[in-house]
Structure 1
Amino acid sequence: MNGYQAKRSQYVQDAVLSATPAGLLTMLYDRLLLDLARAGAAQEAGDWGTASSNLLHAQDIVGELMSSLRTDVWDGAEGLMSLYTYVRQTLLEANTRRDRTRTAECAEILEPLRQAWHEAARTGQPAPVAQNQDAPRSLGVLGVG
């Protein structure tokens, strides 16, 4: 690893370690959509190895989003979990069937969510989390944290 790569790696690590829960969520969504864009471009070019690598990474991110979703503190969490489940299955199919349209479908589904998370993180205004008064305050936006 050259000096630039080492500095960049350290910067990214520091950014992740110091990020708020909402900041981490926006980072995950940004990388997820980047993976989908890269996978789509690779699929268009017939570069199936690169497409597969990006789709697998996207599936890992969706799995992380699923594991961090607090379904016990937000009424809408079950619906979001269903959406994540659908996206993860569709990404699997996009990869195994080499189907660019499925990759694009996932990007179309996830982009509005990415924008919403960025807006919530920017304004610092949590969306309606839970009606549960016992929920910890540190959960942040939409019960993730």
Structure 2
Amino acid sequence: MNAMRGAAAYGRGASAYAKVGVESGVMSASPHQLIVMLFDGALAAIRTARIHLQDGNSPSKGQAISKALDIVNNGLLAALDEERGGEIAERLASLYDYVSRLLLSANLHNDLESLGQAEALLDNIASAWRDIGDQAVRG
């Protein structure tokens, strides 16, 4: 019994430590790095959803897809500045809307193909964001 409590306490401690690490990373990140972090979070949630879908774990699949949707809609989409971003921001907004519909379809129909399409689209955009960051660092 004590070993179980010790393991649970360790898990809580490790989780709290990880949360502090993430919060510290967010606080010191540039706006560009924050967007990359959003992409990384959405992609990780989609990969988690795929694992749960393949395992037949619907509740966990739904939670992971909900997390990805939240990041896309309340992070990536909300970060767009359509005034200054013009046509590019409009196209990204349309793409994020499409990704959201793919994720909803994947959740509703247990559709690995829709999940894969959403992941591929986000991964392509994330790669472009990373390249922009690399170019900015190199000057």
TM bin, normalised by shorter chain, reads 0.7 to 0.9
Correspondence for 1:26? 36
Correspondence for 1:57? 67
Where do 1:27-42 residues align within 5 Å? 27-42=37-52
Correspondence for 2:6? none
Q: Which residue identity does 1:123 align to in structure 2?
A: Q
Correspondence for 2:79? 68
How much does 1:70 deviate?
Answer: 0.7
How much does 1:92 deviate?
Answer: 1.0
- Per-residue CA deviations over 1:82-125 (Å, capped at 9, x if unaligned) read 00011111111111122111111101111111111111122227
- Which secondary structure does the structure 2 equivalent of 1:76 belong to? helix
Structure 1 range deviating more: 56-65 or 88-97: 88-97
**Number of corresponding residues:** 125
- CA-atom RMSD in angstroms: 1.4
Asked which structure has the greater CA Rg, the reply is 2
Q: Which residue identity does 2:22 align to in structure 1?
A: V
Gaps of 5+ in 1: 126-145
Instruction: Give the one of 103, 107, 110 matched to 1:98.
Output: 110
Correspondence for 1:131? none
Matched, 1:117 2:129: yes
How much does 1:25 deviate?
Answer: 0.4
More RCO (CA 8 Å, sep 6+): 1
- Alpha-carbon separation, structure 2, partners of 1:53 and 1:7: 23
Q: TM-score under structure 2 normalisation?
A: 0.84
Matched, 1:17 2:48: no
Correspondence for 2:101? 89
Correspondence for 1:133? none
